[in-house]
Amino acid sequence: MSGLRRAAVGCLWLGLAASFLVQAGCAASAMRGGEGTENPDMDRPAMSVTLDRDDITYLVADYLKRLEASPFWQNSIQRAPEPPVVAIWPIQNATSQHLDDQMLTLLSSIETALVNTGSVRVVDRASQDSLIREIGIQQGAAYDPRTAQRMGRQLGAQYFFTGKVTSVDERLNNVRRVQYTLFLQVIEIETGQIRFQNEVSRSKALKG
């Protein structure tokens, strides 16, 4: 191989190596976040105005705090001879957004929060979902007292948690703000009475 050809081949390899290094430097890198990692606060910053897991955690925790402080909880739940059985009716998505994943996370968070109080026995959602499909209730359907009584008897539940998530979407100049509200009721199945209800709100904004 002539010196000129060897030089050309060498330049080609140097060019390819340089290109590889540039691409490697620009390649996306994955990060692990959460407690016990080098990025414990990764989940804290908002990525959009959509409802996220941090928002759901806040909404459920705030609602539960108000519930446990209520006369209903103190008198009817804490003083019951044994922990009452409760079930969670499908929560309505009353926003204009597609929140299927968020609604599943919300239901799981409510279930977990109630179980962890140790004051109520919560019907497993898997068992409840089977009954919902059998009866023909759509996910996110509005609460129906007659259907609820039928489900309540089959589930052995005394109370249903039901409600909805709403949102108000506003824009001003280059700022968009979305205000989410979680509205939940506790309904006594046998009587149909609302024993407790409250709402908790969370706002998110996007500039630019």
* 158-182 pLDDT per residue, tens: 999 999 999 999 999 999 999 999 9
For residue 163, give the 3-state DSSP assignment: strand
Position 133 in a domain = yes
Identify the pLDDT of residue 12: 46
Tokens (6 digits) for 116: 């962890």
Identify the pLDDT of residue 179: 96
The dihedral built from the CA positions of residue 172, 175, 176 and 177, taken in this order, carries a sign that is negative
* More confident call, 29 vs 50: 50
Structural domains in the chain (count): 1
Position 13 in a domain = no
The residue whose two tokens read 């919300």 is 106
Position 20 in a domain = no
* More confident call, 78 vs 127: 78
Position 89 in a domain = yes
Quick check: 54 pLDDT over 90? yes
Stretch among 19-33, 67-81, 180-194 having the lowest mean pLDDT: 19-33
What's the CATH number where 134 sits? 3.40.50.10610
Identify the pLDDT of residue 138: 63
Position 28 in a domain = no
C-alpha span between 134 and 55 (Å, rounded): 32
Identify the pLDDT of residue 39: 75
Tell me the mean pLDDT in the region 92-121.
Answer: 94
Position 42 in a domain = no
**pTM (two decimals):** 0.78
CB count within 10 Å of CB 69 equals 9
The chain-wide mean pLDDT, for the chain, equals 84
- Residue span of the structural domain in which 63 resides: 53-207
- Per-residue pLDDT band for 19 (boundaries 50, 70, 90) equals low
Identify the pLDDT of residue 160: 92
Identify the pLDDT of residue 133: 74
Angle between helices 125-135 and 145-155 (to 10 degrees): 130
C-alpha span between 121 and 76 (Å, rounded): 14
Position 38 in a domain = no
Tell me the mean pLDDT in the region 113-134.
Answer: 86
Position 122 in a domain = yes
Identify the pLDDT of residue 6: 56
